[in-house]
Amino acid sequence: MKDFTDKVVVITGAASGMGREYALEFARLGALVAITDVNAEQLAETHKMVKAISGKSSLSEVLDIAAEESVTDFAGKVKRELGNAHIIINNAGIGGGGAPVWVQDNAQYHTTMQVNFFAVVYITKAFLPQLLTNQEGAVVNVSSVFGLLGTPGTSDYCASKFAVRGFTESLMVELADTPISVHLVHPGGIKTNIAKHSKNGAEFEEKYLKTDPLFAVREVIKGIKSGKQRMIFGYQSSLLRFLTLLPLKLRNRILHREMGDMRDPEHYGLLDQYSTSSPRS
């Protein structure tokens, strides 16, 4: 797809960060934008900014994308008010619990998977019939560089982003003989607020979240235009991509050392307790 004029573009997680930049950039390109988020106030701000850029029709909906029936209803509303969707940007996500496996609450795994993975499935399945009816369109699913390799304290987040990767790569094959393009995005350290609720969020943001969200959005749009199926970009993405080529033991040692200052001493102190309480043979 080369021209986005009057194309219907659905964007999740549009209240801030990359989601907001997707909405504004597609509005600049003449698209009809449908945006969602759970943050009503910030989503309204994004919608106001979209309307200031473009006089064309747009739609804003406060939506829990982890609620399947609500997603289905939203897809119907987009079709009624704007027409069939042409592009879906599965951008929304949460940062996860930020704790090692032995500390992480099982409920957090369910929450992270529901928002980061199952919502991608729900949105894709709800809107894909509209793209197929158009015989034109693009599905953009946002994974992460943490969907390429596992990192400490992020097992729920990595699991969800690996799941997005597997789902999307399968969809690429299934739609290979159709006019629908499928794109898998692995952003590196994009400067968003995804880590703000985690215990070490501010420290993580300062160390790793460096890349301007607008740069990331424009990379994705270039990828849609060129048909590029996998996109890896952002702060330290080249390094992490290189690490995937290394033997697993070496990679793990490097990551353990690199991200050591993100570890919570209280969490890792539990390992010492386990080792001293376990009988030695």
Residues 185 and 132: their CA atoms lie apart, in Å, by: 22
Residues 46 and 202: their CA atoms lie apart, in Å, by: 24
Q: Respond yes or no: is residue 157 known to be catalytic.
A: yes
Residues 171 and 124: their CA atoms lie apart, in Å, by: 10
Catalytic residue among 22, 109, 122, 157: 157
Active site residues: 157
